[in-house]
Structures are given as C-alpha cells and as structure tokens.
Structure 1
Amino acid sequence: MNETGSTLPRRPVLGAVIPVAAFRALLAVAIWTGSTAARAEPDPQGGPLLVVSGPLSFAPLVRKVVPAVVNIAVTQDVDDDSQTKVKVPQALRGTPFEKQFRERMRSRREQMLGAGSGFVIDPSGIIVTNNHVVGNANKISVSFSDGTELPAKLLGSDELTDIAVIQVKADHKLAFVTWGDSRKVEIGDWILAAGNPFGLGSSVTAGIVSARGRDIGAGPFDDFLQLDAPINPGNSGGPSFDMHGQVVALNTAIVSPTGGSVGIGFGIPSELVAPIVEQLRTKGHIDRGWLGVTLENATGGGVAIVSVDKGGPGARAGLRSGDIVSMVNGDHVDTNRGLIRTVAAAAPGSSIRLQVTRKGHAVDVLAVVGRRVDENPG
C-alpha cells in the first residue's frame, strides 16, 4: 500500500533464484512467443531493452520448411564451335578412320549442366525458381530432400523479373510452403535462406535483412531485399523465410568480387513474386501495362515526363513532355521506377487516373494502358 491507500503493482524481485531448467523454459517461451515482458524491463540507463536475443535454434523452422525446398539440375544442348580444330588421337592419324573421326567431332553437340534451387508452393507440384536457372534448359530435373528425383516441365518464365514456374508430377501430395508478406519485413529482421549452394545439396543459412528497395541494375523492376545470410551460386531460385516459416523473398543475385558470398545477397520480395507466379502458372506469360513515355525523377518530387511516344497510350491520353506525375489512382509515386511498376501492374486495356502538375496547375489525366513488349521502356 502507498500513502493514499492504493495498491502498488508488484515488481519482479531482482536476484531471485530460479532453477536452471525453469529459466531455460521461460527464456524459450519469451523468445518464440514474442513475449514483451523481458523487453519492457528498463535497463540501467532507463530505456527499454530493444533486443533480448536471437532464436535459441533454427532447427524447428528448418524441419518445417526444408521438405519443400528443392535442388534443380538443368541440361542445355549447345553447338560447340571450339571443335573446329579437332585433336586426332595418334592411333587414328593416317588411317581411313581419321576423316570420320574429325566429322563426328565437328558435329558433336555437348551438354551444359547447371544447378539451382526452388521451392514448392502447391502440393500438386508447382515450383518457383529463377528464370536464369531454367529459362534455356532442354531438360529439368528436380531433387527433393528425401532423395526423390523427378523430371519437370516449364510452365512459364519472365525475363524482366527473373521469375519462372516449373511443375513436377508426383504420386502423392508434396510438402509446400506459403507466401509471407514482405511489406511487413523490417531492416534487421531475422531471415533463413535455403537452397543448393555450389551444387552441394540442400542447406540453410541465417542472417538479417540489411536493406530494402535495392536497385542493382538487373532490370526495370528492381526492388530487392538485401540479405546478409550467406547466398552463393546455386542458391538462385531458393527461398528466404521469415521466422513464421513463410517465404518473404526469392533469392536471385549476389554482389561479390570472389564469386562466393561476402554477405551481400538480394531477394525479390514476395509481394512482387507472388502475383507474377500466379500469372505464369495460369497463363504461361505476363501481360504488362505500358504508357509509352520516357521518365525521370523530378527534382521537387514526383516523376517528370521527358518525352511522349507519338501515337502511344500516353499521347492519346493527353500527357505532355514536362508534366510531373505525383499520383496514380490516388496513390503517391515518388520515383520513375515506382511509376513504371505501377503502370506495368495494370492490365492492358484498363484505365488509370494520373494526377499531373502542368505549368503549375493540377491536371487529372485518364489513360488507357497499352500492352508492354520487351523493347518498350515504360
């Protein structure tokens, strides 16, 4: 009781002895259930403890997700021009078989083998990976963590985002994983990356999200999560999971002077991957919107229209060079890449409303989106 007669809240007793087993159990519960009790306790400086500990072990998460992560081997037939100069074995030189040997070697077709990763998103055998892993393959083979190996076929791929969908036929329902919401991922969050580094077989690595919104010059829709979990060649196409075991990124690229991991890897956020995967598995290709304008970031905010293609959707809508676009369908746009992605996400033939500043005056422009082809810039 205090002086006014009210009951004070009971505080934990510092220095109380807790059995070791009980302490470990309480700590595990606090970490895995997200308990804020430990975080709310002030430190000697008077502020809250913002970080208590990482997970005691990733093993429960690994057991849950690894059965749905696959290794992918591809075969591509190519003409080998290097066979123009053929080294003839000594035993055949000067014999009737020398000419036959040279012709056979010049026409020989060799196989290029590659390896990558992927993950099952549907128990029927739908698998997500990178386009650069399977896009030019003649044969695709998928290996699972239990040793099962199955042939796969390509359902669809998209070069601009480096996303591909393949399918295997199994005699039972396959383990699969689900999409997480990459929009909720924060810099500093734990992630678990899985895949097939250097073709060695299934493995996992852990780290944190280092940055968001990275543009590495891979394509017009760059919006990568930067990850510091070790990602190496062969991890391409594999997933990165949040601590709930949901896929928040498709591992795609690394920056490295050595060719191996130096802690700078990049994954495509699930918010971008999931809708593209859905189109690829159902239609086999992506239909993207196009305005027919050249863009650049405006100094004072918004996106400036540098030029307008004659006869393009933007010209028909009345857009002009010098216009500053600040909003599309009521949502703010701050960068030219953001505007390109917004337009590309619109179905060809649909209408979008742009809020434009023209010579100091606000103008609303209604544009009917055209169909983007690879050579269209925006």
Structure 2
Amino acid sequence: MARCPASGLIPMLLLGMAAIGGAITDARAQDNATSSATPPNPSLFAPPVPPVVSTGPLTFAPLVRQVGPAVVNIAVAQDSHTTTSRQPLPPSVKGTPFEHKFRERMRAHGEEMLGAGSGFLIDPSGVIVTNAHVVGGADLITVSLADGTEFPAHLVGSDDLTDIAVIQIHAPHPMPFVPWGDSRLVNIGDWIMAAGNPFGLGSSVTAGIVSARGRDIGTSPFDDFFQIDAPINPGNSGGPSFNLGGQVVAVNTAIVSPTGGSVGIGFGLPSEIVAPIVEELRHNGHIDRGWLGVTLTDGSGHDGVQIVGIDRNGPAMKAHLHIGDVITAVNDEPIDTSRMLIRSIAAKRPQSTVVLHIRRHHEALSLPACVGHRPDEDMDD
C-alpha cells in the first residue's frame, strides 16, 4: 500500500500489511571462496585503537521486558452488513498461519477484515497512539495486548497530514504505558529499538541505529522523519521506536522497499512532532492548523521565501502581501525555507495575529496578519 509515488523502482510504503515471501540462499560456495583467498597483509592496516563507543547493550532483554506490555496489536475491520461488496482477505494474513484464525473470526462476527498494525499505550486509562492509515475507514477496531487479552477500541481523533491517530480502550484496571522521550536529544548513530506486529505474526522487536534525521519523504509539508535501520516491515505501522531508556522517540510510519519487505530503510516520525499532535487529538479530536493562503518558492537568491501566488480570499491578501514579496521572519522567528514558513504558520492558532517581516523590492516592511483556518485540502500554506 503505497503512501507516495514510487521513486524510480523503489516505492515508499506505508507499514501496512503484505504477504510473506522471500528466498533462502546457500552461502557455502561463498564461504569456500572466502576461506581459500590469500590473507591480507597486516601492514595494510593501522594499529588498533580504543573504540569510540566504549559501552553498549549486551542484551535488549531488560528493555523489552520494561516496554513490551505497553505495545499493542491493532486489527481493523468493517461491518459486513454495511459494506456493499466483499473485501478480500488482507495480504498480511493470506498464506500465513493466521489465515484460518482470521477467516473463522470474520465468519463468527460478520466482519470484513481490512488489515492490522501496531500501537502503544501512553496512559493507564487506555489511550493508544497509532498511525492514521492503520485505523482509517474502520468500523471495528480490536486491540490485543501482549498477553493476548483483546479489547474493542474507538477512534478519538486522527490527523492525516502527520498520519497520527489516537484510539481508546476501556479496561477494567490501569494499563501499562510508556512515556515520551525527547527526540531532539537523539543523535545519528544512537541505538534505537522498534516494536510492533510485522506481517501479523504478533509482537516482536528489532534493534538498530538512527541513520539520519530530518528526512522528507514527500508525504506532507510536515515530513521530518528519523531514518532508522532497525528492520521494520508491513504491520509495524504505528508502533513505537524506543531509546535505551525505554522512552518513545518516534512512531514507525513508512519504509522504502522494492519488495514490500524491509531493506533496512525505515522512517519514524519524531516524538517532538507527535506528542503535541496526540495531546490536541485527545482533547479536541482534530487538529486546527493556521493558514496564510500563499504559494511559495525557495531559491530566490535571498534569505527567506518568495511569494509566487496569493489566495484571493486568504489572510495574506487581507494583510496586503504582494506576489514577489520575500518573507524573512514570522514574529521573531527567521524563515529560510518554505517548509519552515508552512510549519511556523500551521503551529499558530487560527484567528491569532502574527507579524510578517518581508522584503519588497529593496524595502523592509513589517505587516500584521490574522492567521486563518487551514482548509482540509492540502495547500502550500
């Protein structure tokens, strides 16, 4: 299930479900060839030095025991009485040991299975974070805990632009939960452990490092992903990635894959973006973002971003901005790229006033603007 158009022959995939497949190769010929090769001359190598990293986890087992109970599996379905045509069995289930189980479940409950994914509890009352695409279109949401206990869940709110959703279960006792960590403290090369429900097989974990920060994968103006090499696959979508302290620093969202399986390039949305979204969804059920009503371009040869189009009914027109103006700052926040401006305005409350610092020809101006409500459709700003 592609989240954005393919780049060359390598599609960007949501971490939804896909059939298990692959091949096992015999490496004995390679082993024989390696053993018969001439050993390299030791003088080619520099003398040994102490490792840059002096300590590291000998095992992730304590971390898994700590956070595992808060990681959940999510199954989504539609009521077969409300669907007009029968849906096929999800590829994640077809051909796996779970196909028979899901067919029995659908027959017993009159459900049309849509797919499955992952999530994690952030509050003892049963609040769960996952991806919006995991629960989108679902009539029925079932959450399974690590011990196999199942609960029905309802959707609290979702945000398609960041692909984040919040769901809620009502349990008879306080639930285990995991805290947010500060993703701003995560460095390239740091350990990270991903948890989830790949291919519908049940809860599992993988470990690796943060490969890059600030990745833009073309899914929305708010892309700012961690790239991680901990293997994540279809079904891990919505699951957490942890630092070594057991804190959630990212939500697993997408993979790059030519085959539908992991090739070691996955993307998680950092907690610094997710946590505020989750709080607003919990309290309001939706995200109300600010909007300026301009089309922008980078690379104008100046600091700031240039306006190349203005919505005739938008806040920018009412603030007397002109095509060709270069916006250099919002309030006291310098603006270098169109993405910075979009995020800055989106973070403002609609109907609040901001001061836009602009350059018009060779003149510096400061214009107040009343921020509007961002339309549902995707706009430049």
Q: Shorter-normalised TM-score: what interval?
A: 0.7 to 0.9
Q: Distance in 2 between matches of 1:241 and 1:299?
A: 40
Name the stretch that deviates more: 71-80 or 179-188. Answer: 71-80
Q: Distance in 2 between matches of 1:147 and 1:110?
A: 20
**Structure 2 partner of 1:18:** none
Q: Distance in 1 between matches of 2:211 and 2:258?
A: 19
**Structure 2 partner of 1:223:** 224
C-alpha displacement of 1:72: 0.3
Q: Does 1:308 align with 2:310?
A: yes
Q: Distance in 2 between matches of 1:278 and 1:248?
A: 16
Residues 298, 324 of structure 1: 8 Å contact kept: no
How many residues end up aligned between the 2 structures? 310
C-alpha displacement of 1:219: 1.5
C-alpha displacement of 1:356: 1.4
Residues 154, 167 of structure 1: 8 Å contact kept: yes
User: So what's the TM-score if we normalise by structure 2?
Assistant: 0.78
Q: Supply the RMSD in Å over aligned alpha carbons.
A: 2.0
Q: Distance in 1 between matches of 2:282 and 2:363?
A: 45
Q: Which has the higher contact order (CA 8 A, sep 6+)?
A: 2
Q: Does 1:319 align with 2:321?
A: yes
Q: Distance in 2 between matches of 1:332 and 1:241?
A: 32
Q: Which amino acid aligns with 2:216?
A: D
Q: Distance in 2 between matches of 1:81 and 1:151?
A: 23
Residues 130, 165 of structure 2: 8 Å contact kept: yes
C-alpha displacement of 1:45: 8.0
User: Helix, strand or coil: the match of 1:122?
Assistant: coil
Q: Distance in 2 between matches of 1:212 and 1:111?
A: 38
Q: Distance in 1 between matches of 2:74 and 2:53?
A: 38
Q: Distance in 2 between matches of 1:360 and 1:189?
A: 46
The runs of 5 or more residues in structure 1 that have no matched partner are 1-43, 84-108
Q: Which amino acid aligns with 1:299?
A: S
**Structure 1 partner of 2:77:** 75
Change (3 A) 1:47 1:289: farther
Change (3 A) 1:48 1:333: farther
**Structure 2 partner of 1:206:** 207
Q: Distance in 1 between matches of 2:356 and 2:304?
A: 12
Q: Which amino acid aligns with 1:237?
A: G
Q: Distance in 2 between matches of 1:337 and 1:219?
A: 10
Any idea what the Cα deviations from partners look like across 1:220-248, whole Å, max 9, x if unmatched?
21111111110100000000111111111
Q: Distance in 2 between matches of 1:198 and 1:311?
A: 47
Residues 180, 247 of structure 2: 8 Å contact kept: yes
Within a 5 Å distance, the mapping from 1:65-104 to structure 2 comes to: 65-77=67-79, 78-80=83-85
Any idea what the Cα deviations from partners look like across 1:29-59, whole Å, max 9, x if unmatched?
xxxxxxxxxxxxxxx9899853224311111
**Structure 2 partner of 1:33:** none
Q: Which amino acid aligns with 2:254?
A: A
Identity %: 66
C-alpha displacement of 1:110: 7.0
C-alpha displacement of 1:345: 1.1
C-alpha displacement of 1:297: 1.1
The runs of 5 or more residues in structure 2 that have no matched partner are 1-45, 89-109
**Structure 1 partner of 2:192:** 191
Q: Distance in 2 between matches of 1:323 and 1:187?
A: 37
Q: Distance in 2 between matches of 1:139 and 1:265?
A: 28
Residues 87, 112 of structure 2: 8 Å contact kept: no
Q: Which amino acid aligns with 2:176?
A: A
Q: Distance in 2 between matches of 1:314 and 1:160?
A: 22
Selected match of 2:367 from 361, 365, 370? 365
User: So what's the TM-score if we normalise by structure 1?
Assistant: 0.78
Q: Distance in 2 between matches of 1:260 and 1:326?
A: 43
Name the stretch that deviates more: 124-133 or 345-354. Answer: 345-354
Q: Distance in 1 between matches of 2:145 and 2:64?
A: 14
Q: Distance in 2 between matches of 1:110 and 1:55?
A: 44
